[in-house]
Chains A and B, each alone.
Chain A
Amino acid sequence: MATYRARLARTGLAGLAALALLAGCARGEDAAEGGGSPEPADQGPSLRAADGETCTAEQYGVEPFDLAGSTVGFSQSEPEANPFRIAETASIREEAEARGIELIDTNAQGEFSRQISDVQDMIAQGVDLLIIAPLNSDGWEPVLADAAEQGIPIITVDRQINAEPCADYVAFLGSDFVEQGRRAADRMIEALGGEGQVAILLGAPGNNVTTERNQGFVDQIEAEAPGIEIVFEQTGNFSREEGQEVAEQLLQSNPDVDGIYAHNDEMGLGAITALQGAGREPGEVQIVTIDGTEGAVQAIIDGWMFAVIESNPRFGPLAFQAAEQFAAGEEIGVNLVIEDREYTQANAESDIANAY
């Protein structure tokens, strides 16, 4: 029975490796490192805590253990149908393989009850640590209770779970969305020379990503560039089609708009289609978006986009580094921030290999 499991695990790993290659990691995420990009993210991952709160295995109530040779479970929330999820899963798989850690991974395909039972499946299989990309922030009570009972530490990535850090779960690793908004504002100010009318294509409503990306942008514009006026704010629900639709309405109601800030690449790409449809030329309306997908970086090269702030989906190295330190009994921050790159006209061509 044991050998059967081991064989399954081996074929599994081989399959995962093949998948990771197919998923575009063959593009060579690190190939551009020699390209002289000054971005801090290119100098290897570093664990940065957003605040002073920390956690140790002792505080969490588990015995320190050796992460190498242990089994880790990863629960992905959404189908791997968008670049972010593809890159996220691939990064976790690659890092586990590089560290020789047995990884069990599941995908809830966007169904919340399925994610609950997926994680319970992995608890039943006796994983030593869980990495969860939560579909929803609430509704985790049964999972947290089961994990606590078995003494399994949980690290959440990209979205948070509404619970007590270092008690119900260990730590959260994700982007600083407010900072992303601020950086987008800085690029927009640069693009417009501090003067002009800006429209915002908002993400899906009631989502902390949308709120924080907007808050960072609006605050920064108010503080740094009083000459810029935000004339239009409407949701494009993070989708390309809706982004295009809203941008079409924008061009009718505010034909003199100078800049568009989209909360993600997809809506920004939709806005470009709308501009093309209205017969506008590249650069007439400056666009800044967030995510860092290949299509958006290509749009910078083509002159349609001014800048793209990355939302880094490659949680693997940092998540396992945090897990390793925690397992070894060291102190780690409970709110960990992943570094995001930035693409502009200056580095789009040389760094497009980094886009996902």
Chain B
Amino acid sequence: MARTPVTAAAVDVSRGGAAPAGASGAERISALAQRHGALVVLVAVVLVTSLSFDTFFTGYNLNRLAVNAAFLAIVALGMTFVIITGGIDLSVGSVFALGGVLAAWASQYGTLPALLVPVAAAGAIGLANGLLVARTRLAPFIVTLASMLGARGLMLAVSGEGNETYLVPQGSAFLELAQGGLFGIGYPVYLTLALFGLGGLLLRRTGFGQSVYAVGGNEDAAALMGVRVARTKLTVYLMSGLLAGFAGALNAAYLGSGVTILGFAMELDAIAAVVIGGTLLTGGLGYVSGSLVGVLLLKVIQNVINLIGSLSSSYQQVVSGLFLIAVVVAQTYLSRRRRIG
């Protein structure tokens, strides 16, 4: 796979979160824009919406927005790692759906099986993705496209061609995990924040995180520096699978059933959120927190379009698409500037 060479400065920015010492003011600003652009937009959108619609900034609305965003956010977390290595994981939507159906099926045996069965199955798919990408050096696009179809087929097989919807037994602790909450905030929100905290630490403060950036920055250079490229790749695809399966299980608990028509095009939403959050699609540069902001931005835009009411809901996709284009154009511009500078 062809890689855009990323300068050492860019890698430094991604690690330290700020422009390297001696960088010009313009460079510092462009680094900040890359990092926090989505956050600025999110804050602006939330502010304007709160002032325009009195039903937006309410406890109920914010909580359920956050809970709804939690499932996509967990998927996007895994996707962030994959994209920083320069890869892509198209299987997450199908794995999410499979995870949900397996969780609902296994919930009749208790909460632990309801979590372990889907996570194990999703982990196996992630591992297979990782092995194929890392060892055979097949393009991640093709490998995960194949597993996307495979996981969807598996989901249909365990749900009788999608006709059988398993229900989570009423009153089980598994339901409470997603439907309950503390201080008016749903448990899925806490779980998501905890996972992102861990993800951030892993990416920024560990040797593994450095390998992830190095592999995405320049794979050959990373290999020469002694980074275990294959192992790093295998790990990120495994993580992505595990997280997608877990998100699916959590979603099944939220809905109280293993809905079989979920997860279509979810991989695209996850990729969009990651890119909007400032992670370069070419790899080597990215932030876990940005992906969280990206997911929230997508969900808030949907809410705003519904609030405006006179806009057809198709416009949500238009607006999200425009955002994506704006961000990608800005990214290209910024990284080109940095390279020239």
Contacts and interface: CB of A to CB of B under 8 A. Distances in A.
Interface of A: 1, 4-5, 8-9, 11-12, 15-16, 79, 104-114, 116-118, 120-126, 135-142, 145-146, 162, 205-206
Given A79-B314, A206-B163, A12 B309 contact: yes
A5 B53 contact: yes
Contacts of A139: 165, 255-257, 259
Given A117-B68, A121-B303, A138-B165, A8 B310 contact: yes
8 contacts: A1-B52, A5-B53, A109-B313, A124-B64, A138-B167, A139-B256, A141-B179, A142-B67
B308 interface: yes
B308 A8 contact: yes
A11 B310 contact: yes
A107 B53 CA distance: 20
Contacts of B179: 141-142, 145
A86 B326 CA distance: 33
B309 A104 contact: yes
Contacts, number: 111
B306 A109 contact: no
A122 B302 contact: no
Contact of A126 (B55, B163, B313): B55
A230 B64 CA distance: 51
A205 B160 CA distance: 10
- The range of chain B's interface size is 35 or more
Contacts of A12: 308-310
Interface string B294-335: 000001001100111110111001000000000000000000
A303 to B, nearest CB: 37
A113 B68 contact: yes
A116 B53 contact: no
A135 B309 contact: no
Contacts of A138: 165, 167, 255-257, 259
Contact of B55 (A108, A111, A125, A162): A125
Given A139-B256, A142-B179, A142-B255, A121 B310 contact: no
Nearest to A146: B64
Contacts of B141: none
Given A139-B257, A141-B257, A205-B163, A107 B61 contact: no
A53 to B, nearest CB: 22
Contacts of A141: 175, 179, 254-257
Interface string B160-198: 111111010000000100010000000000000000000
Nearest to A135: B261
A116 B254 CA distance: 11
A1 B307 CA distance: 13
Given A12-B310, A124-B64, 12 more contacts: A12-B309, A104-B306, A106-B306, A108-B313, A109-B314, A121-B306, A138-B256, A138-B257, A141-B254, A146-B60, A206-B160, A206-B161
A12 B179 CA distance: 34
Interface string B60-75: 1100110110010000
A107 B314 contact: yes
Given A4-B52, A205-B163, A118 B306 contact: yes
B116 interface: no
Nearest to B254: A142
B310 A113 contact: no
A117 B299 contact: yes
Contacts of B68: 113, 116-117, 120
A124 B65 CA distance: 10
Contact of B302 (A117, A124, A162, A205): A117
Nearest to A141: B256
A117 B296 CA distance: 13
B58 interface: yes
B185 to A, nearest CB: 15
Contacts of A4: 52
A126 B309 CA distance: 14
B309 to A, nearest CB: 5
Contact of B162 (A106, A117, A120, A206): A206
B254 to A, nearest CB: 6
A24 B24 CA distance: 61
Contacts of B264: 110-111
A4 B309 CA distance: 13
A111 B65 CA distance: 16
A206 B160 CA distance: 9
Contacts of B55: 124-126
A234 to B, nearest CB: 15
A139 B53 CA distance: 29
A126 B58 CA distance: 11
A129 to B, nearest CB: 16
Contacts of A110: 264
A107 B262 contact: no
Contacts of A122: 306
Contact of B60 (A15, A16, A111, A124): A124
A250 B317 CA distance: 41
A113 B302 contact: no
Contacts of A124: 55-56, 58, 60-61, 64
